[in-house]
Structure 1
Amino acid sequence: MIDVLSPTLTWVAVGAAVWALVLVLADRPLPVDRPDGKAYLGLLALIEVGLLAQAVLGFIKLATADHDVPALSYGGYLLGSLLILPVALYWSLAERTRWGTAVLVVGALVIPVMIVRLGQVWTHG
């Protein structure tokens, strides 16, 4: 995958998961009307922009690959990773309990798993 972007996205997503876990443990929903909630939404937007850049660069690398890569699997992981956080955020905002915030924890932790899987599909085909 992309040498700098993938580890950066992984660690930022883990940080977002820890932030959401603190909210779950405090039994608070995501406070979208407060500065800390807006900062968290900004962090999720930053991750999403990084995932979009990864998807664009990943499709370019796929088109110019010099080895066999299962294009359907690889493209599915690239596009699937773009959908995880928006769905988790929508769910969290629809369910204003600690369990809605827990969905953000899971969504943020799925991102590193998707990135690792992208690397595996790219390397091993």
Structure 2
Amino acid sequence: MNGPLSTATIVVALLLAAWYLLRSALDRAPSRLDLLTMAALSALAAVLVVVAVIGLFDGTRPADTATFGGYLITTIAFCPAALWLAKLEPTRWGTLILGVGAIILPVLVLRLQQIAEVTHVV
């Protein structure tokens, strides 16, 4: 896993999560800017996943490739799913959906890093 790219993804996701959760607490529906920032976060997560998939072909594979692949699929699909659900819910709950989606992404990235680190030790 790419350290700086993973760190950037985590930091951006946590900042956006704080923003979305604050807007939800203030009873604000998702704005166009909120939806666009989630789309940008989705693109950042997609770049991270592509880099991780390319890394699978360099010869070092995780001990549990199926679990790693499952986390890759979940990581790339989670933000677009949250974005789609937020578009369906044009109330404060849509903003909460974006916040929850953004706060779960760092957990997925950290888990991918944990699985990848086990590979380098073994």
TM-score (norm 2): 0.87
Contact 1:18 1:105 in 2 (8 A): yes
CA distance 1:121–1:68, shift in 2 (3 Å): closer
Provide the residue aligned with 1:85 in structure 2.
79
User: Whole-Å Cα distance in 2 between the matches of residues 68 and 117 of structure 1?
Assistant: 12
Kindly report structure 1 stretches of 4+ aligned residues shifted beyond 4 Å: none
CA displacement at 1:67 relative to structure 2: 5.5
- The number of residues matched between the two structures is 119
Please tell me whether residue 103 in structure 1 is matched to residue 103 in structure 2.
no
Farther off after superposition, 103-112 or 54-63? 54-63
Please tell me whether residue 11 in structure 1 is matched to residue 11 in structure 2.
yes
Contact 1:9 1:51 in 2 (8 A): yes
Provide the residue aligned with 1:30 in structure 2.
30
CA distance 1:120–1:93, shift in 2 (3 Å): same
User: Whole-Å Cα distance in 2 between the matches of residues 59 and 105 of structure 1?
Assistant: 27
Letter in 2 for 1:44: M
Letter in 2 for 1:19: W
Unaligned runs of 5+ residues in structure 2 are: none
User: Whole-Å Cα distance in 2 between the matches of residues 41 and 107 of structure 1?
Assistant: 12
Letter in 2 for 1:2: N
User: Whole-Å Cα distance in 2 between the matches of residues 44 and 103 of structure 1?
Assistant: 11
1:33-88 per-position Cα deviation (integer Å, ceiling 9, x unaligned)? xxxxx2x3332222222211111111111122435432111111112111111111
User: Whole-Å Cα distance in 1 between the matches of residues 62 and 25 of structure 2?
Assistant: 45
Question: Aligned-residue CA RMSD in angstroms?
Answer: 1.6
Unaligned runs of 5+ residues in structure 1 are: 33-37
User: Whole-Å Cα distance in 1 between the matches of residues 83 and 70 of structure 2?
Assistant: 21
User: Whole-Å Cα distance in 2 between the matches of residues 17 and 66 of structure 1?
Assistant: 33
Letter in 2 for 1:60: I
TM-score (norm 1): 0.85
